[in-house]
Amino acid sequence: DANECTNSDGAVVTVNALPTVVANDAEVCTGFTVQLTANPAGGTWSGANVSASGLFDASGLAAGPYNVTYTYSDANECTNSDGAVVTVNDFPEIVCPSPALFDVDCGVSASVAQAATDSKFSTWFNSFAGLNSDPNIEIVAVQYVYSPSSADPDGDSNAPLNPIIGVPGSIETSVTVTWTIRNTDTGCESSCSSTFTMSFNCRIGCQTTPTPVACNGESSGSIQVLGSNGIPPYNFYLYNSSDLNNVIDSVMGVNDEPGGALFSNLPAGTYTILITDAVQTLEDATVCDATISQPDALSLSLQMEPENCIDTATGSISATFSGGVSPYMVSIDNGPASEQLSPFTFTGLNTGNHTVKIIDANGCEISEDIEVELIPCDDAHCTYTQGFYGNYGGLGCVPDLGSVNSQIMMIRALNQVGGSFNFGSVNTGNYFLLKLSDVNGVSIPRDNNIYKMLPGGGSPRKLVGFATYDTPATWSDGDPIYASGSRKGKINNNLLSQTMVLFFNLQISNALASVELESTFATASDVECGANIPNMETVQIFNIPQNVIDYLNLNGGATVGNLFILANKALGGEYINGLSHSNINAAVDAINRGYDECRINVAVPEDIEIKTVSLSDGLIVTAYPNPFKEYLMLNYKFNYESNVDIQIFDTKGSLLYEYKDTDAYFGKELKLDINFNRAGGELFILKLMTSKEVITHKIFSANQ
């Protein structure tokens, strides 16, 4: 001490061992925390991301090892520490199926549609395993959330109930599935979610196939309806489109797909069909329309042509028909039917009642009756042409004499009027004197004057002065007889020669004078001389200018007798009210030809076509019969001298027939014998050429 007093004592220093410290390693999933542990407890932790109490926070840390330190001080304040490694593990990678959107299967029942949805969901759900195939991963939880909640199937399948069908009022249903997986090594878990959605797009489709009514006015139509793409069973309701309040017919509970319904025995009209199914109600039904058509009503009109002369079977009935469905089968009087087009003519009919029946392709029929009338036939009138009277060798029929030659006929005619006749007008001084000696003055018939005069030709005109054949000085001027040339002695005024021929004809047939003239008339050959029965296969049509008939009606009547008087007035240069000599000549020619070789008046048939071609400079050509068979008759009129070249061509332009008429004259009738090959109904071109004109027109060959 201060006194420098010293003392001592002994002491013991105790050295304590450091406490044993063990810091435990740990693992944590990124983003999570872990409480670290150590022994003995009560120490302090230090290092990044760890609290003093040992809470390690792995938020935002990458996977990997992290070092931390644990420090512990005991009661002796001895301190020791230990390091620990905290391993931060990643979450396991998880892949969910892509969201899926499916349409509900249409055209099947509700149960089948749900089964199809279940299958689709199962395939979709099971795809998760394939997307997450790491063997260190296990599924630890699956959660299902349904929208709407009523889509929860509450059964073995986790697929949502189908919209509309299973969940009325919802056009979509879905389930959101959340999968949670764990890495069996690290214990880290991951979750993902995806949605499976079903959409209802089923709408009944409709297809209609109407069948028309077979016959107008019947109830034989039908409608085949197909419903598809809905949810069977289907129900079909048929309405008239103009009345949707009353169901005509219905077909219910059709489970087929597509579902069909047939509505039969329906009249023509427009119909509306409503289709419902397990989902669509009448308020929401599919609507489709169908129209049942019907053919127009069959119509039949009949026109008859009377029978010419009893028991000649020359009547005909023309049937005009339409409507229905072609082709048409046509029959008369319950005879065999044949397919025909309208109009169709039944020929060869006798007088009496006939029934015509038409049956169309659907079996619809219509029939009408008509009476074929009878036209009683006149007696035959016998006339002849210039060609006959100009030929001394020919024979012709005279009803009270039989068959005689032209000389006998002409002698008889002149004897009946005193042996001579003046053609023209003595009052005007313009006339031609025909004498009996002109017909029989020479013993050799062909040398008589009449056979030199006829047949005549030349333009029809009035006579100038007096002339008679046996006094050549009276016709030395070449009028009305050629005074020179190759035709010397021939009449060159066709009106004179035609009137002369009509004179002979009137004397042969006294009744001819009273025949009334018509602008168009038809005649047929007598089957034999004096029989007064027409051969209807020989019908020909003739025409008389209407102005000639009009004139005669104002001057005594339109008869053949008055026409003869008119012809003489025209030759004589008397007043004829402006009528042309050509028209008068045409009328006389029509009578001479119309009853040629004894013919009988018959009704004008509609099925005989006579072609007449008229040109402005005077040429008129008539060709008949058309269609032709073995021959073709030509009659031509022109007011000038000329040969006529006649040609017939086929439609390819090949020349088939050719003839040159070097003795042509006004009113000449020429028969052409057709000798080229032809089939029935062929078209040919007839060509005629004079020195001034060329004409063509069509002719047809008749069926053989």
CATH number for the domain spanning 273: value is 2.60.40.10
State the burial class of residue 509 (Cβ atoms within 10 Å of its Cβ: 0-12, 13-18, 19+): buried
Whether 449 is in a domain gets the answer yes
Mean pLDDT of 358-363: 94
Q: What is the 3-state secondary structure (H, E, C) of 224-261?
A: EEEEECCCCCEEEEEEECCEEEEEEEEEEEECCCCEEE
Q: Do 529 and 543 reside in the same domain of the chain?
A: yes
Coil vs helix vs strand at 528: coil
For residue 3, tell me if it sits in a domain. no
Q: Angle between the 546-553 and 581-594 helix axes, to the nearest 10 degrees?
A: 90
Q: How far is CA 204 from CA 233, 234, 252, 265, in A?
A: 11, 9, 15, 26
Instruction: Name, in order, each residue with C-beta under 8 angstroms of 513's C-beta and a sequence gap of 6 or more.
Output: 506, 559, 560, 561, 564
Pick from 89, 114, 140: which residue ends a domain?
89
For the chain, the domain total comes to: 6
Q: What integer is the mean pLDDT of 399-407?
A: 85
Please give the average per-residue pLDDT across 180-207, as a whole number: 94
Cβ-contact 654, 604 below 8 angstroms: no
* Cα 474 to Cα 465: distance, rounded to the nearest angstrom: 8
pLDDT band at 87 (very low <50, low <70, confident <90, very high): very high
Q: Could you tell me if residue 429 is inside a domain? A: yes
Based on the number of CB atoms within 10 Å of its own CB, is 690 exposed (0-12), middle (13-18) or buried (19 or more)?
Answer: buried
Is 465 within a domain? yes
Closest CA to 497 of 560, 453, 446, 452: 453
Do 78 and 126 have their domain in common?
Answer: no
Query: What is the domain extent for residue 232?
Result: 205-292
CA distance 179 to 294: 67
Sign of the torsion formed by the C-alpha atoms of 620, 624, 628 and 634: negative
Pairing of strands 395-398, 402-405: antiparallel
In angstroms and rounded to an integer, the radius of gyration of the C-alpha atoms of the chain is: 62
Distance between CA 263 and CA 225 in Å, rounded? 8
Q: What is the pLDDT of residues 421-439, one digit of tens each?
A: 999 999 999 999 999 999 9
Structure tokens at 697: 């027109």
Question: Of the residues 326, 351, 375, which one is the last residue of a structural domain?
Answer: 375
Pair (420, 521) in one structural domain: yes
The predicted model gives 271-295 an average pLDDT of 94
Beta strands in 598-643 (DSSP E): 599-602, 609-614, 620-626, 631-637
606 confidence band (pLDDT: 50, 70, 90): low
Count how many Cα atoms sit within 13 Å of the Cα of residue 300 in the half-sphere of its side chain: 27
Instruction: Give the range among 167-181, 357-371, 507-521, 633-647 with minimum mean pLDDT.
Output: 633-647
User: Is the separation of the CB atoms in 279 and 230 below 8 Å?
Assistant: yes
| Amino acid at residue number 490 | K
Q: Are residues 195 and 264 both part of a single domain?
A: no
Q: Please give the residue that has the higher pLDDT: either 406 or 307.
A: 406
How far is it, in rounded angstroms, from Cα 128 to Cα 135? 14
If asked whether residues 428 and 577 sit together in one domain, one would say: yes
Average pLDDT over residues 335-343: 93
Whole-angstrom distance, CA of residue 703 vs CA of residue 629: 8
What is the average pLDDT value for the chain, to the nearest integer?
Answer: 90
Angle (CA) 27 33 38, round 5°: 60
Give the confidence band of 615 by pLDDT, cuts at 50, 70, 90: very low
Q: What is the pLDDT of residue 613?
A: 38
**Residue 486 and residue 593 share a domain:** yes
Backbone angles phi, psi at 407, to 5 degrees: -65, -45
Per-residue pLDDT tens digits for 454-510 = 988 888 999 999 999 999 999 988 899 999 988 899 999 999 999 999 999 999 888
Q: Is the pLDDT score of 609 beyond 60?
A: no
pLDDT at 639 (0 to 100)? 67
Least Cα distance to 498 among 462, 437, 457 occurs for 457
For the chain, the residue count is: 704
Q: Is the pLDDT of residue 284 over 70?
A: yes
- Residue 241 clears pLDDT 60, i.e. is over it: yes
For 490-503, write each residue's pLDDT tens digit. Answer: 999 999 999 999 99
Please answer whether residues 436 and 415 qualify as being in contact, where contact means their C-beta atoms are separated by less than 8 angstroms. yes
Q: Among candidates 141, 43, 140, 27, which has minimal Cα distance to 90?
A: 27
- Average pLDDT in the 228-250 region? 94
Tell me the three state secondary structure of residue 308: strand
What number is the average pLDDT over the span 605-626? 58
E strand residue ranges, 36-124: 38-39, 44-46, 55-57, 64-73, 79-89, 100-103
Same domain, 268 and 363: no
- Looking at residue 28, what is its pLDDT? 94
Q: Cβ contacts of residue 658 below 8 Å, gap of 6+?
A: 645, 646, 647, 648
245 and 309 inside one domain = no
Identify the CA nearest to 438 among candidates 467, 477, 473. 467
- Please state, in angstroms and rounded to a whole number, the distance separating the CA atoms of residues 503 and 505: 5
Q: What is the largest CA-CA distance in the chain?
A: 230
- Residue 242 has φ and ψ, to the nearest 5°, of -85, 0
Q: Out of 189-193, 224-228, 660-664, which region has the weakest mean confidence (pLDDT)?
A: 660-664
Nearest to 226 by CA among 262, 273, 264, 259: 259
Please state, in angstroms and as integers, the Cα–Cα distance from residue 555 to each residue in 574, 588, 703, following that order.
14, 17, 46
Residues 407 and 481 in one domain: yes
CA 112 to chain centre: 48
The whole-angstrom distance between residue 130's C-alpha and the CA centroid of its chain comes to 64
**Could you tell me where the DSSP H helices lie in 3-48?**
none
pLDDT, residue 526, reads 80
Residue 598 has pLDDT above 80, yes or no: yes
DSSP 128-182: HHHH---TTEEEEEEEEEEESGGG---SS--SPPPBTTTBTT-SEEEEEEEEEEE
pLDDT of residue 468: 96
Kindly state whether residues 356 and 238 are assigned to the same domain: no
Taking residues 195-200, report their average pLDDT: 95
How confident is the model over 123-144, as pLDDT tens digits? 999 999 999 999 999 999 999 9
| Distance separating alpha carbons of residues 564 and 588, to the nearest angstrom | 8
Using pLDDT thresholds of 50, 70 and 90, give the confidence band for residue 618.
low
Answer yes or no: is 95 within a domain: no
Which position has the higher pLDDT, 97 or 485? Answer: 97
What is the reported pTM? 0.48
Do 524 and 426 share a structural domain?
yes
The residue ranking higher by pLDDT, 61 or 537, is: 61
Residue 610 pLDDT more than 50? no
Residues 502 and 584 reside in one and the same domain: yes
Distance CA 601, CA 673 (A): 26
Residue 562 has pLDDT above 90, yes or no: yes
| Average pLDDT over every residue of 189-210 | 94
For residue 704, the model assigns a pLDDT of 58
Q: Tell me, yes or no, whether 154 lies in a domain.
A: yes
Q: Three-state SS across 549-598? A: HHHHHCCCCCEHHHHHHHHHHHHHCCCCCCCCHHHHHHHHHHHHHHCECC
Phi, then psi, of 459 in degrees rounded to 5 = -70, 140
- The answer to whether residue 1 sits within a structural domain is no
Q: Looking at the domain assignment, is residue 691 inside a domain?
A: yes
Kindly tell me if the per-residue pLDDT of 175 is higher than 50. yes
Quote the DSSP letter at residue 462: -
The whole-angstrom separation of Cα 689 and Cα 645 is 5
Q: At which of 583, 602, 621 does a domain end?
A: 602
Per-residue pLDDT for 17 more than 60?
yes
Is omega for the bond preceding 343 within 30 degrees of 0, making it cis? yes
CB 636 within 8 A of CB 621: yes
Helix (H) or strand (E) holding 415: helix 406-415
- Report the Cα 673 to chain-centroid distance in Å: 44
Is residue 458 within 8 Å of residue 450, measured between CB atoms?
no
